[in-house]
Amino acid sequence: MLGLTKRDAGLLVIVAILSLLAPFILNPFPEGSAMAQFNAGYPDLMQRLVIFGIFAIGFNILFGLTGYLSFGHAAFLGVGSYAAIWMMKLLTMNVIPAIIISVIVAGVFSLLVGWISLRRSGIYFSILTLAFAQMSYALAYSVLTPITGGETGLQPKLSDPRVLDGALVDGQSPRANLFGLDMKASSELNIGDWVFTFNAGYYIAAIVMLLSFYLSIRIFRSPFGMMLRAVKSNQQRMNYTGLNSRPYTLAAFVISGMYAGLAGGLLVAMDTQVGAERMFWTASGEVVVMTILGGAGTLIGPVLGAGIIKYMENIVSKINKTVLEQWFAFMPDGIEDLFVALVYPFVGKGWHLTLGLVFMLVVIFLPGGLVEGGQRVGKMFRRKSAEPKSPDGNTTPAE
């Protein structure tokens, strides 16, 4: 199927089904219930889940296959965003040209950064990429203010030329679209107390994510991917065989940067407001955590990691003291206050503490990330089902 093995094709189908049914899967609780706090099936969050999934998939091609840890990938996300917003300001609000130019510009910029940074390896490579990202952030925030908008950022304005678009009527604001389909267009389905939202922008981003995921599978299974694994395994031994590893690592770096640019362009398609904060070092660290949390070097791991972090950032961070008091209201006053005091540091503004604990536990007990955890559970069930049983139904020890 599409040049994939049966196992990889099955994984692609599973991701496609999950993406298609996301409005149902992410809204498991009825509206108005106490547990509705945990529903994540609203357009903005669903879009961010798939967009940052693309960002993490691209980063995994570099880090997961070659072992080169970049702390500067947010620079490519930001450059792609700026390229996309300028395309919308100068040419058209149609998202296709914006996404294409974001990938091209991010690719060219990553070629420059990679050509310099890959002269070193290990921690020196990581520091070089971090330096480039911080320099890019500083330039966008101050020196290049006429191009980037500085601390106020950029967004489409009525006065922008947009040579391919018609004139806007009075009171109409420029909106991102796909050949006339508004990216914010949504429809709702009410089933009892449940409300499911289907957003055009989400499904467009989900289709792009599926294509990106398919491409990453082909890269992982290709001879090029095997060469990248050889670099990670023992680059020095590979060089001794006469093979020059630098073209392969540079190609992986550029591909990874283009994925980041694609994610940046999609962010602009969903929300036409771009600021320099997308290039800050914390955004680079976030994609590192996403990849390691899900499982570096695996296919589905980075997508899972991105989903968990964005879920915690947008859902767990909204649980404040008032919500906790409502949850524990059935308890006696003293016990209620105790439970609120114990849980409150881990939610709301303290959601980073919860994320840190989860990340620490995964690194210690599941070095392969959440994917390794799933594999262990699967092996446990398979082992139980494979155990021989006696005629009376009792398990008999293997000889």
Q: Are 141 and 151 in contact (CB under 8 A)?
A: yes
pTM above 0.85, yes or no: yes
Tens of pLDDT, residue by residue over 119-132, are 998 899 999 999 99
Whether the per-residue pLDDT at 397 is higher than 60: the answer is no
Mean pLDDT, to the nearest integer, of 286-309?
Answer: 94
Share above pLDDT 90 across residues of the chain, in percent, rounded to a whole number: 67
Identify the band that residue 398 occupies on the pLDDT scale cut at 50, 70 and 90. Answer: very low
pLDDT digits (tens, 9 = 90+) for 128-163: 999 999 999 999 998 899 999 988 899 998 888 889
User: What is the mean pLDDT of the segment spanning 295-299?
Assistant: 92
DSSP 245: -
Radius of gyration of the chain (CA): 24
pLDDT at residue 17 in the model: 96
Distance CA 98, CA 118 (A): 29
d(C-alpha 283, C-alpha 78), whole Å? 10
Mean pLDDT value across residues 269-291: 91
Tokens for 172?
């109409």
The pLDDT assigned to 396 comes to 46
Q: Which domains does the chain have, with CATH numbers?
A: 6-297 (1.10.3470), 315-388 (no CATH)
Q: Count of CB atoms within 10 A of residue 5's CB?
A: 11
Beta strands in the chain (DSSP E): 177-178, 181-182, 186-191, 194-199
Read off the pLDDT of each residue in 232-250 and give the average, rounded to a whole number: 87
More confident residue, 186 or 382: 186
- C-alpha distances in Å from residue 271, one per residue of 82, 93, 137: 12, 12, 20
pLDDT digits (tens, 9 = 90+) for 12-59: 999 999 999 999 999 999 988 878 889 998 999 999 999 999 999 999
3-state secondary structure of 154: strand
